[in-house]
Amino acid sequence: MALIPLGVLVVAVLAVAAGTALARRSPPSRETSVAAARAHAVHASVAAILLAATAAGYVGTAGLGNHSPGGLGITALLVPVTFGVVHTLVLAVGELTWPRPQGGVRRARLVRRGLLDAAPAWLVRAGQVAGALAGLVLVGGALLADADGRSITRAVSDGAGAASATASPFPGLFYGTPAAVGLLVLAALTAAALWIVANRPAVATTDDGIETALRRASAHRVLRVAVAVPLVVSGGLLFVGGGALHSVATSSLGSGLLGGIGVAGSLLGGAAMVCGVAVASTRAPGVPADAPLVRAG
């Protein structure tokens, strides 16, 4: 059952992104190199979505038989991480195989570009927020969890003696370690893909705006899923962790304040997951059309 929400998220991202790729088409270009670049970008984007969804589906299906304690929770974490890793790898390969100019080459500027120069500013800021949230959830969960790394216990004492309440799943090291490793791998691949985007040869075109738009669209495609995955993963961990905290707090031993913190954590986690889907579904910037040919009067 733990896989169902994340499975729905993957399907939603696949459906929206595929529909976007089909519905939003750049206007036709008079330059052969630009037309080839546009087609290559669309093909790479569609291939990345399909292969990533296939890999994530395989991981989810294979993990359904894992009945060990916490096994399904680990599988639920690996589904979005796998999607993000495979998606980024395929896009990086697409950038490495960017088509060489065809036809008459007019000019191609040599420009030194930084890693994030082509990246949309709002996606960079969203990535910083997602990274901070993931770090906070993973570190906080590790500090609060029990020794088993997947539950939380609250002990109280009164005049009659001591008692405790335990709830799980909770995002301790048992869940946090594979999540952290997966997110670090994704971050490294994202940095590599953005480096490739920044340093691949420029498209031969007389319109600098088209070259800038093509590179910006490539960076957007890399970042949208790379930012969405930590939002979904940390949001999911926060959602279940808040539920466990609320369960412990509202037991016969608990307090209303701690229960309210748990509810707030679950709401924040759910909002982060929704934001992750929204970010992954955003359209890449469009590429402007060439100036139309003007016939001599």
| H-only helix segments in the chain | 3-23, 32-63, 71-96, 121-144, 173-199, 208-249, 256-280
Q: Say if 107 falls within a structural domain.
A: no
Q: Say if 72 falls within a structural domain.
A: yes
Q: Say if 216 falls within a structural domain.
A: yes
What pTM was computed for the model?
0.81
Which comes out higher in pLDDT, residue 34 or 127? Answer: 127
Check: CB of residue 238 under 8 Å from CB of residue 64.
no
What lies within 8 Å, CB to CB, of 106 at 6+ separation is 204, 205, 206
Residue with tokens 């595929």: 18
Q: What separation, in Å, do the N-terminal and C-terminal C-alpha atoms of the chain show?
A: 70
Q: Catalogue the long-range contacts made by 264-269 (C-beta closer than 8 Å, 24 or more residues apart).
A: 265/238, 265/239, 265/241, 266/238, 266/239, 266/240, 266/242, 267/242, 268/235, 268/238, 268/242, 269/234, 269/235, 269/236, 269/237, 269/238, 269/239, 269/240, 269/241, 269/242
DSSP-derived secondary structure letter, 145: S
Which comes out higher in pLDDT, residue 52 or 99? Answer: 52
In whole angstroms, what is the distance from residue 96 CA to residue 135 CA? 31
Q: Say if 296 falls within a structural domain.
A: no
CB neighbours (10 Å) of residue 160?
A: 6
Q: Say if 293 falls within a structural domain.
A: no
- 297 — pLDDT class (breaks 50, 70, 90): very low
CA dist list (Å): 247 to 17, 18, 244, 268: 37, 40, 5, 17
Is 161 buried (19+), middle (13-18) or exposed (0-12) by CB count in 10 A?
Answer: exposed
Nearest to 133 by CA among 224, 229, 257, 56: 229
Nearest to 42 by CA among 119, 98, 85: 98
pLDDT of residue 62: 85
- 125 — pLDDT class (breaks 50, 70, 90): very high
pLDDT of residue 98: 79
Which comes out higher in pLDDT, residue 227 or 248? Answer: 227
Q: What are phi and psi of 115, to 5 degrees?
A: -60, -40
> What are 66-114's pLDDT values in tens digits?
777 778 889 999 999 999 999 999 999 998 887 765 555 445 555 566 7
In whole angstroms, what is the distance from residue 297 CA to residue 294 CA? 9
Which comes out higher in pLDDT, residue 20 or 237? Answer: 237
Q: Say if 44 falls within a structural domain.
A: yes
Residues in the chain: 297
Which comes out higher in pLDDT, residue 289 or 36? Answer: 36
What lies within 8 Å, CB to CB, of 273 at 6+ separation is 5, 9, 231, 232, 235, 236, 239
Quote the domain boundaries for residue 211: 3-99+118-280
CA dist list (Å): 212 to 119, 186, 209, 242: 11, 25, 5, 44
> What are 129-177's pLDDT values in tens digits?
999 999 999 999 999 888 888 888 877 665 555 667 788 888 989 999 9
Q: 136: which 2 tokens? A: 């906070």
The tally of domains found in the chain comes to: 1
Q: Say if 109 falls within a structural domain.
A: no
Q: Say if 169 falls within a structural domain.
A: yes
